[in-house]
Each structure stands twice: as structure tokens, then as C-alpha cells.
Amino acid sequence: MKQSKLGFNGRRDFLRIAGASGAAITLGVIPHSLFAQGSPLKIGIVGAGRVGGTLAEFWAKAGHEVLVSSLDAEADRALAAKIGTRARAGSSRDAAQFGDVVLVSVPYSALPKIGQDIGDALRGKVVLDTCNPVPARDGDMAKEALAKGTGIASTALLPGVRLVRAFNCVGVGTLRSETNRAGEKVGIPLAADDAGALAVAERLVRDAGFEPVVLGGLARAKEFDYGTPVFGKGRTPTELRAMFKLG
Ligand SMILES: NC(=O)c1ccc[n+]([C@@H]2O[C@H](COP(=O)([O-])OP(=O)(O)OC[C@H]3O[C@@H](n4cnc5c(N)ncnc54)[C@H](OP(=O)(O)O)[C@@H]3O)[C@@H](O)[C@H]2O)c1
């Protein structure tokens, strides 16, 4: 079997990585380049606000190519210019089409429209979802999403994507101040049903300057949703593993 630069040996190692991640496993076709730590990814950002813009900057610094989008094309062009040569701006559809991976980082109440408008372009993509249902901002649909858990609710709103719940429970101020800090890094809880998507998300958490903490399948995303004890504070992986009883 041909070995990649990373020592990734194809399906057998894919299964090993998948098993080690603890996720409920769905085997999808993820290109080898998404695993190869040396090769840059193309990342589309749908919702280049505080969180999306910050992660776009971190990932461009780490060598990835980003395409930022929001509802304000001028702001997107300014953000791309500020980030530098690895960034460009476009529409949300452009971001969905551009990305090997797409970060969706919008108010939760915008997710149904995103599913309707660009769901076709997102289908089959690895999607990192930071969106929190906040009843005071997003209304009754947020209460329903929290009752189901966002892993389940977001899957229904973005059908057919390789969804990973990621970067939702650490504030943007902490992302900015604690990226790549010395000592134990801030942990980012992750949940996904698709092991390949999870492996890509783990890589992007590290590339943003944090440490992934994998809970398991999407049903477990509920444990770090808005309003849970872990929500809103930057905690170390050691603290998170204890809180999630991850052994
Ligand atoms: N702020 C935090 O500390 C934090 C931390 C973790 C997770 N979150 C969650 O992550 C999400 C983003 O948070 P944020 O603080 O980054 O919010 P934000 O600064 O308000 O950014 C939201 C972005 O979404 C864009 N947007 C809104 N509706 C859209 C649509 N229909 N299509 C495409 N783009 C759309 C906005 O564009 P315009 O600016 O042009 O309106 C803006 O760029 C939220 O769900 C939030 O609860 C926030």
C-alpha cells in the first residue's frame, strides 16, 4: 500500500484514527490531502463575524487558504485584505463551493436559510458548526434546538453535510487571547458522527492554536451546548475530560 507523507496508510489507518476518536463511525470519502498535515486546506467561512473572522485569520496564519463571506461584501473584502494573501472574499455560496471544509458561524436563526440557500453546495462537505441557539436572540427555534441538542438540530437544518460541532463553547475573547498559549492549551470540545470529518476538525483545532477534546457522536454535542456547565469558559483538556468523564 502506498504511504502518504504523514504515514497515513489509507483505509486501515483511517479506521484506526476513527476508532481512536471515539466517534460513532460513518465512513465517508475524505481526500488524503485533508489528513496530510503539510498540505494546506481550502476553508470557506460562512459568517465571517467575530468567531468566523478570528478563525479565518488563525487558519490563514497556519498556511491554509480561506474565503470569507457574510452579508456585507465590503466588510468581507476588507477582512480578506487584512488577513493577507491567503484570504479572499465572496458570497456564502462561493465559500461553500471553495471549501474542502466550511466553517458555518452565524446566528442560529440564520441556519434554516443557509440550509435552503446553499445546502446543495454544502452537501457532502466537512462542516464545522460554531452556531449557538440563544433563545433571547434566536427565539423559539433556539429553545427547540437546545431541547434536541445542537448535534441533532443542526443536522436537520444542514442535511447531508459531514457535520462537526466545534468552537461553539469558548468565547471569542478567549480564542483571541489564548491561541497557541504556552503550557496546557485551551480545549475545544468536538462532536461528530463522521470520523473523517472529525479528523479534519481535530487538525484545524490544533492549527488554530488549541487542543481538541472529542466527546463522541453528534448526540453528545448537547453536553457542551449553550447553558451547560462547560459553556463560555476556556478550560484545559484536563478539566474538560474530567467534566465529560472521558477517562
Ligand atoms: N461571540 C462568541 O464569543 C461566540 C463564541 C462561540 C460561538 N459563538 C456562536 O457562533 C455564531 C457566530 O457568533 P459571532 O459572535 O461570530 O457572531 P457575529 O459577530 O454576529 O457574526 C455572525 C456572522 O454571520 C453573518 N450572517 C448572518 N446571517 C447570515 C446569513 N443568512 N448568511 C450568511 N452570513 C450571515 C453576519 O454577517 P453580517 O455581519 O454581514 O450581518 C456575521 O458575519 C453564533 O451562533 C454564536 O452564538 C459565538
Look at ligand 1, atom 18, and give the residue with the nearest C-alpha: 49
Per-residue pLDDT at 101? 98
Domain boundaries along the sequence of the chain: 22-243
Q: Give the distance (Å) from ligand 1 centre to CA of residue 243.
A: 28
Q: What is the C-alpha separation between 68 and 89, in angstroms, rounded? A: 5
Neighbours of 140 (CB within 10 A): 9
Per-residue pLDDT at 247? 77
Pocket of ligand 1 (CB under 6 A): 46-52, 70-72, 92, 105-108, 110, 113-114, 130-132, 134, 167-168, 171-172
Per-residue pLDDT at 2? 31
Look at ligand 1, atom 45, and give the residue with the nearest C-alpha: 131
Given a contact cutoff of 8 angstroms between Cβ atoms, the answer to whether 197 and 126 are in contact is: yes
Per-residue pLDDT at 32? 54
CATH of domain 22-243: 3.40.50.720
Q: Give the distance (Å) from ligand 1 centre to CA of residue 102.
A: 14
10-residue stretch averages of pLDDT, the chain, 247 residues long? 29 34 44 66 98 98 98 98 98 98 98 98 98 98 98 98 98 98 98 98 98 98 97 96 93
DSSP assignment of 97-118, as one string? HH-SEEEE-S-GGGHHHHHHHH
Q: Give the distance (Å) from ligand 1 centre to CA of residue 196.
A: 26
Predicted TM-score of the model (pTM):
0.90
- The per-residue b/e assignment along 40-75, b for 16 or more CB within 10 angstroms, e otherwise, is bbbbbbbbbbebbbbbbbbbbbbebbbbbbbeeeee
Atom of ligand 1 nearest to the CA of 53: 16
Given a contact cutoff of 8 angstroms between Cβ atoms, the answer to whether 216 and 23 are in contact is: yes
Helices and strands counted in the chain (H then E)? 11, 8
Mutate to test the pocket of ligand 1, among 46, 54, 58, 70 (most ligand atoms within 8 A of CB): 70
C-alpha cell at 225: 451546548
Per-residue pLDDT at 15? 32
Atom of ligand 1 nearest to the CA of 171: 3
Q: What is the C-alpha separation between 233 and 239, in angstroms, rounded? A: 11
